[in-house]
Structure 1
Amino acid sequence: MITARLLLDTLCLCYSSLVIRTRRYLLNLAIARSRRIYPTLSNRHEHVVRILDNIIYKPGDAATLRSEAEAMRYISKHTSVPVPRVIAVWADNESEGGLLMGRCPGEELRVVWRRLTEEQKVRIRTQLRGYLTQLRSLPQPHTGWIGSVSGGPCHDERLSYDPFGPFMDESDFHDWRVSLLDRMVEASDKIASRVGDLRGSLRDDHAIVFTHGDLASNNIIVEVKGNRAEDARVSGLIDWGQSGWRPEYWEYVKSLHGRETEGSWAELVRQMIPAYETEWQLDQEMCLIHAPVTVPSPAHGPPPPPLYEWPHHAPPSPSPITQVSQTPVHAALQPPLLTRLLLDLRGKRFSVDRETIMNLPESVLLCLFPNGLVLSRQSVALSDGGENSEEEELYGVDDRPQFDPDCFAYVLNFFRTASDAFYGTESNPGLYAAQQHLVDAAPPADFPSNQNPLLSKQAIIVLREELEYFSIPPKDGGASTDAGGNATDALLGLKRHCGEYLLDKRNIFTALQRNVNKENNIAEQHLIDMLCMSGFDRDDEWGYRALEPSRCCISSIALVLLKTGIVHHPAPAGGSPSDRQVTLDYNQMATAQKLLLFWRKPARKCWWDGIEVNLAQLGEPARDVKLWARRVWTLELSLVRTLSPTFFPFIYLISSRFTSVAFSYLHYVLSFASCLFSPFLVLL
């Protein structure tokens, strides 16, 4: 009996492994094909892949996807709210899974709104108000508790990357919410007093209603077929991963968080949902206390353009890569995306593939493409016109963005080297292959992580500095301006010498540490300590540092690999590289996970620094100059995806029919295997 059980366990493991490997293989085939046919859905949903004309594949955390599928099935059964049809949801392991669902026809609301007539806008507003009323009117199975649709934990990335709850009532939920501020409470008695006042102001008697949890203009799909009012309709509400039973004010608070509070979107929200201004103000104050130092960079900080107050020209996209077209184009007629770009940076050309561009830090992309970039065939008019334009799909940037080409080369080389070392090359298997077992292994009970991208992706800390300096010349009058207000040669020489002096100061933390010592700024000291624990060294220098032409400005950048606590030990004597032992320091990993706050969300810090310098050359009398420097730091975490997908060459040739048949075939194979093994499972 024991032998039979062991044999069955082995067969079950083989079966499970076969299912996962087959599913991954077929999905890779479909994804590779889809990227050649269908454009990216949007920069917000870039991880979601349209694998067939009416099927969407969404990878992610297994628990979150399961909760999202449960919510969509529940809403589809109990309301008339249009949601994607759930085809299948699965877990490859405890942290990773996938969701196959139907595609809602149409485009995002933020894209189509300015094309709608006034009558169509009224119709869309009315439909949205009705759908949200249905959601908020759903009876709760057991009154009072807060959690997912089925009573499981809550998922809300704004509060925690890990699931939390469920809670017995609103009071427990508010107590947990305030407990997130404990770190700040311990640092200041004044903050502790204010947090106590905030908790006392939070009401615990709100009704608990079903809430979407991530209502935004890019999660509302609208289908438009003509100019009449009845030609426009809401065809889908998507992205239900953060939905569940929440206090009645939560939808209003989440819909306005990080967006305009007085603009068009806020007006639309107030027409759809009752206003809860007091709760919103309390929520915003708690968010400020929770992150007092982190200031969003322009890449993410400013709200998106007003929903229906856009100018007649196409607005810049929130992402520096993809700009949404304002012209209605049928999906089948959309031009294919370009795969290579020819960048012209100050006269120096770079031929870069699209995947490499998409891997770069968003703060760098914003500098490269401040007005966005359309990666489609319709842009080849801007190419260099040579023969390679047609064959290699090159895209020429004709406005020559003000970005240092040597700095760009430094970033490209670092990211390429890091990607090759982690994911491997043809001759080197890479680190990821050796640590694959860590992805599948269950973490310790006290380790709060069931979705940890640091186990499967190479993380790079990106630290940039823009230093603008202002020199106050000596009073001898030699360095000044002429009668026309133009700088004299002496003044220009002084500015040049000041720039060269600052350029030589290559240590990263010297200026910030000087500011810490002067003002006893504990938060800045914590920032230095955190960076030094995560990969930097206190004596590190900038990886690239240069004066900007025709400006009193110095641009610097430093890139380091994030210390994740994953240690690859040397192979034993006489052993092969595959025999290397890989261990994980969970304390270091917990520290590294804190930097995930800066993934796709660059943070900025600005401060002024004043020093006196002596610019006298050897043998010259002392020449003291007062220098004021305005330093702006941008901190970001980048997760590098593999730059060279290891798919077979023929995957780009597969057809829609082949993909459909492959999925059907897999379904029948798995059904047959399930029937084959189920009698043995029942007997045991």
Structure 2
Amino acid sequence: MFGPIQRAYTLICNRIRRLLFPFLLRRARRLYPRIQHHVRRLTKSTVAKTAPVYGLFVEAEAMRFVAEHTSIPVPKIYDVWASDDKFGYLVMEYIEGDRLDKKWRSLTHDQKVTVMRTLRGYVDQLHAVQQPGNVGWIGSVSGQACLDLALIDALSGPFASEEEYNDWRISLFSWYANESPKVKHQLDDIRQQMRHDHRIVLTHGDIARNNVLIRVDGDGPGDVSVIALVDWGQTAWRPEYWEARKFYWVAPQNDWFSLGQELLLSGYQKEIEIEERLLLISGPPR
């Protein structure tokens, strides 16, 4: 825990950074290339992320929680604040490394296996974290509303149980059910097949190659290391199959996908089939 002097120092630094932020951002546009469309290097040692404010605070909370409860490498959070009613800024540690999506094709097969096994270890760590309070609820790391872009582009929940969560998910398709008796019958059948007894575990929610930073020092299987897992904005307590469902939703059909099936997120075939049936009704609900 920070002492009072450290807390005061942090508050002063954050206040100064916020005052200087417009200048730092203009300077950064001249000095550094954009990392992703919403992420930009701010200074030599920091990165700034711009996003809807409701998601940024959830992400910052998740990163701090994961850093405290696991050994997964995540950037250190320095500050998060709202710039207006809609958008905000998240300032975090800059970690020097290569995005996995930029390096994947140049890795050897054994190096790809090393990366996947490392990520599997991270997933195992997340799943091993004890859910606070009464277990079984679904929501952010602290039990509040959470974000998942595979469902809706807004916060949802929290949900007291997986059963309540499943009812809500089916409700997202209510327009289609009202328009078509056939679709209503399909949704009723899907709902009956949805389990509500999965273990509820901590889930990253977006394990994709562009969210993995690596360092490569040679051609051997031990010459590649994962140095950070980033983009924790969709992190939440969810049913144990959800990480696999999200991986299948975003993964390209190549060896990243096949290795992921084998080494990262095997199993949950029944749950994936149910998800595919839902997607056939409307595509991802919005």
| 2:229 maps to 1:237 | yes
- 1:33 match: 27
Question: Alignment partner for residue 274 of structure 1, among 262, 266, 272?
Answer: 266
Mapped to 2, the partners of 1:71 and 1:212 lie a distance apart of 9
- 1:101 match: 92
- 1:285 match: 277
Mapped to 2, the partners of 1:200 and 1:254 lie a distance apart of 22
Counterpart amino acid of residue 31 in structure 2: I
| 2:50 maps to 1:50 | no
Alpha carbons of 1:157 and 1:119: their partners in 2 closer, same or farther (altered >3 Å)?
Answer: closer
| 2:195 maps to 1:203 | yes
Q: Tell me, yes or no, if the aligned pair for 1:124 and 1:234 is still in contact at 8 Å.
A: yes
Instruction: Give the alignment of 1:253-652 within 5 angstroms.
Output: 253-260=245-252, 263-270=254-261, 271-291=263-283
Mapped to 2, the partners of 1:216 and 1:208 lie a distance apart of 21
Question: Alignment partner for residue 113 of structure 2, among 122, 131, 134?
Answer: 122
Counterpart amino acid of residue 174 in structure 1: N
Counterpart amino acid of residue 28 in structure 2: S
Q: Tell me, yes or no, if the aligned pair for 1:156 and 1:163 is still in contact at 8 Å.
A: yes
Mapped to 2, the partners of 1:243 and 1:171 lie a distance apart of 20
Mapped to 1, the partners of 2:223 and 2:283 lie a distance apart of 45
Mapped to 1, the partners of 2:216 and 2:176 lie a distance apart of 49
Q: Tell me by how many angstroms 1:56 deviates.
A: 0.5
Q: Tell me by how many angstroms 1:32 deviates.
A: 1.8
Q: Tell me by how many angstroms 1:70 deviates.
A: 1.0
Question: Alignment partner for residue 127 of structure 2, among 123, 131, 136?
Answer: 136
- 1:215 match: 207
Mapped to 2, the partners of 1:92 and 1:260 lie a distance apart of 35
- 2:72 match: 81
Q: Tell me, yes or no, if the aligned pair for 1:83 and 1:104 is still in contact at 8 Å.
A: no
SS of alignment partner, residue 284 of structure 1: helix
Q: Larger radius of gyration, structure 1 or 2? A: 1
| 2:176 maps to 1:184 | yes
Q: Deviations over 1:325-361 (max 9, x none)?
A: xxxxxxxxxxxxxxxxxxxxxxxxxxxxxxxxxxxxx
Counterpart amino acid of residue 74 in structure 1: F
Q: Tell me by how many angstroms 1:62 deviates.
A: 2.0
SS of alignment partner, residue 173 of structure 1: helix
Alpha carbons of 1:192 and 1:118: their partners in 2 closer, same or farther (altered >3 Å)?
Answer: closer
Counterpart amino acid of residue 84 in structure 1: P
Instruction: Single out whichever of 52-61 and 146-155 deviates more from structure 2.
Output: 52-61
Mapped to 1, the partners of 2:62 and 2:91 lie a distance apart of 14
Instruction: Give the alignment of 1:10-25 within 5 angstroms.
Output: none
Q: Tell me, yes or no, if the aligned pair for 2:208 and 2:250 is still in contact at 8 Å.
A: no
- 1:68 match: 59
| 2:162 maps to 1:162 | no
SS of alignment partner, residue 177 of structure 1: helix
Q: Tell me by how many angstroms 1:280 deviates.
A: 1.3
Mapped to 1, the partners of 2:89 and 2:34 lie a distance apart of 18
Counterpart amino acid of residue 76 in structure 2: R
Q: Tell me by how many angstroms 1:291 deviates.
A: 4.1
Instruction: Among all aligned residue pairs of Structure 1 and Structure 2, give the percentage whose two residues are the same amino acid.
Output: 40
Q: Tell me by how many angstroms 1:24 deviates.
A: 6.0
SS of alignment partner, residue 101 of structure 1: strand
Q: Tell me by how many angstroms 1:152 deviates.
A: 0.7
Q: Tell me, yes or no, if the aligned pair for 1:144 and 1:170 is still in contact at 8 Å.
A: yes
- 1:626 match: none
SS of alignment partner, residue 58 of structure 2: helix
> How large is the RMSD of aligned CA atoms in angstroms?
2.1
- Structure 2 stretches of 5 or more lacking a match? 1-13
SS of alignment partner, residue 129 of structure 1: helix
Counterpart amino acid of residue 94 in structure 2: R
Q: Tell me, yes or no, if the aligned pair for 1:180 and 1:290 is still in contact at 8 Å.
A: no
SS of alignment partner, residue 168 of structure 1: coil
Q: Tell me by how many angstroms 1:25 deviates.
A: 5.8
- Structure 1 stretches of 5 or more lacking a match? 1-18, 295-596, 598-684
Q: Tell me, yes or no, if the aligned pair for 2:49 and 2:89 is still in contact at 8 Å.
A: yes
Counterpart amino acid of residue 57 in structure 2: R
The alignment's TM-score, normalised by the length of structure 2, stands at: 0.88
SS of alignment partner, residue 257 of structure 1: helix
Q: Deviations over 1:47-95 (max 9, x none)?
A: 1110112211011122211111111111111111111111111123443
Q: Tell me by how many angstroms 1:33 deviates.
A: 1.6
Mapped to 1, the partners of 2:250 and 2:180 lie a distance apart of 26
Question: Alignment partner for residue 227 of structure 1, among 198, 219, 226?
Answer: 219
SS of alignment partner, residue 34 of structure 2: coil
Q: Deviations over 1:568-613 (max 9, x none)?
A: xxxxxxxxxxxxxxxxxxxxxxxxxxxxx7xxxxxxxxxxxxxxxx
